[in-house]
Structures are given as structure tokens and as C-alpha cells.
Amino acid sequence: MGEPLHIFVSDVHLGINDVSAEAREARFLDFLRNLPEETVELYLLGDIFDFWVEYRDVVPRSSIRVLGELAALSDRGVKIYFFTGNHDYWLTDYLRDEIGMEIVRESLVVKEIAGRRVCMGHGDGLGCRNPFTRLLFSAIRNKLLVFLLKSVHPRLIFRWAHKWSSSSRNYSNMSKYIFKGKDSDLYKYLCKYGEDKGIDCYVIGHVHSQMEIEVESGGTLYLLGDWAEEASSLNLSGTYIGFGACPNIPK
């Protein structure tokens, strides 16, 4: 056994309503089945599902093989953290009770991992100045609106969720997923957020752009890619941090 390994992924968008759906799920299943034995923690940093609307007695029927693999990893002793994203925020206790995940709803979490001070989160809404995006960010987290949403029959909500996801993706393709580096609202927000916090690295999803960039207030920002064409993961051990460079993890 080597050093304990901590794995980060985001933006798989399982169940996506486009031609990449089957390949995405197969790629992610491959990834989960081939995680090294040294893996002790798996951080799912949001938008793992293209949508997830969960009722007390009803959950989406898709991605059952993925859920089975995640349950097997949990049974094996891998600690799984599920960070809610803007596409899979509406969950309650199913993934916690049936799979064994720890649900994280905070926008950012700072944690000591393998000797590094790591700041992580999905990334949606952080520093955003676009009024429409800010309104959407607040709406999907509003308890009253979520309650009203779940008062509608699941069949209608799942149909609406597919349409909303597609329209959100179309809007994102036009604007949001072009990461502007140090000129981006996200980068500026993290620079301010990290002042005097001693953060060594940031791990963020949402922007669908795999890259590494130094943060002016200290630390390194690792942006996770999406899974449209290939796997995107960040791997952290006591001596290493980088994208997809561990043995047996498909690229």
C-alpha cells in the first residue's frame, strides 16, 4: 500500500439529456471501479448528476449502476463527500442513508488534507456579478421555493428539470464556461477569500475547465474539468497533487 489517496471530481452530469450520456456514465463507472486501493476519500464537488430532485419516497431512476459502485466504495471504507451543485442541490437523505455519503451544502469548505490546507466547493455563485445568475443561485437554495417545487408531482418536476438543465447548459455554452483566468469573478473572489487563511490549494468545479493557476493571495487553484469527452480528476496524497496522474485511473 502506498500513501493515502484523496480524489476530487465534479461535473459528471449523469443523466444528461444529450448524445454524451451513455459515454459519460461508462467513463465514470470505469473511474470508480479502478480507484486505487490507497483511496481513502472521494470528494464529489457538485453536479455529479445533471439533475437530482429527491422526494421522501421517490428518487430519480437513472444512474443505478453508479450508485451501486459508490455504495461498494463506501462499504470498502472510502469516505465519500457529496457537495451539492447547482444541478443536484435538491436532495435530502437518500444518498446519505442508502449510500453512506456525507452531504455538504456549504459553498466552500476549508479542511486539512494530507498536510495541506485545502479549500474546496462546487463554485457556482462565488463572486458572480451577473444579476440573472445571482437570482438563480438564490432561488435554487430558497427553502420555500424548494418546498413548493416538491409539492408538484414528480413526473412533471423531472420533465421540467430536464428542460431547465438543457436551457442552463445552452446558456452556459454561450458565456459562463469560458474561464477568464485572473479576470474572472471566481478568481477575484477566491483571492479575497483566501487572505490570511493560509490556504495551500483550492479545488473548484462548475466552470468545466481543467486547469491550474496560482492565486495572488497564496495557494494554487485547481479547476476540475467536466466529463463530456474524458475523465477529469484531481489526486492528492502526502507527496503529490495533480490531475489524473495516479496509476489505474482512466484518463
Domain containing residue 47: CATH number: 3.60.21.10
Mean of pLDDT over the chain: 86
Work out how many domains the chain is built from and give that number.
1
Contact yes or no for 232/244 (Cβ under 8 A): yes
- pLDDT, tens only, 22-46: 999 999 999 999 999 999 999 999 9
At 167 the pLDDT is 56
Phi first, then psi, for residue 65 (nearest 5°) are -65, -35
What cell was used for 170?
A: 445552452
Say what the pLDDT of residue 176 is.
47
Give me the pLDDT at residue 247, please: 52
Residue 162: per-residue pLDDT: 67
Distance CA 232, CA 153 (A): 35
**Does the residue 251 lie in any domain?**
no
Q: Is residue 248 part of a domain?
A: no
Q: Per-residue pLDDT for 233 more than 90?
A: yes
More confident site: 150 or 183:
183
Question: Does residue 24 belong to any structural domain of this protein?
Answer: yes
Rounded mean pLDDT, 196-203: 96
Residue from 212, 214, 216 nearest 232 by CA: 212
Is residue 249 a part of any domain in this protein?
no
Range of the domain at 18: 5-243
Per the domain annotation, does 178 fall within a domain? yes
Query: Rounded mean pLDDT of 107-111?
Result: 96
Q: What does pTM read for this prediction? A: 0.87
Q: Are 27 and 231 in contact (CB under 8 A)?
A: yes
Say which residue, 109 or 94, is predicted with more confidence.
109
Strand partners, 117: 112
Does residue 250 form part of some domain? no
DSSP assigned state of 101: P
Return the pLDDT at 18: 81
Residue type, 187: Y
Residue 218 exposed, middle or buried by CB count within 10 Å (0-12, 13-18, 19+):
middle
The answer on pLDDT for 174 being more than 50 is no
- Taking a C-beta distance cutoff of 8 angstroms, is the pair 231, 199 a contact? no
Q: Look at residue 108 and tell me if it is in a domain.
A: yes
Contact 42, 5 (CB under 8 A): no
Q: Is residue 162 part of a domain?
A: yes
Q: What is the pLDDT of residues 128-141, one digit of tens each?
A: 777 777 777 777 77
Nearest to 49, CA basis, from 19, 28, 78? 28
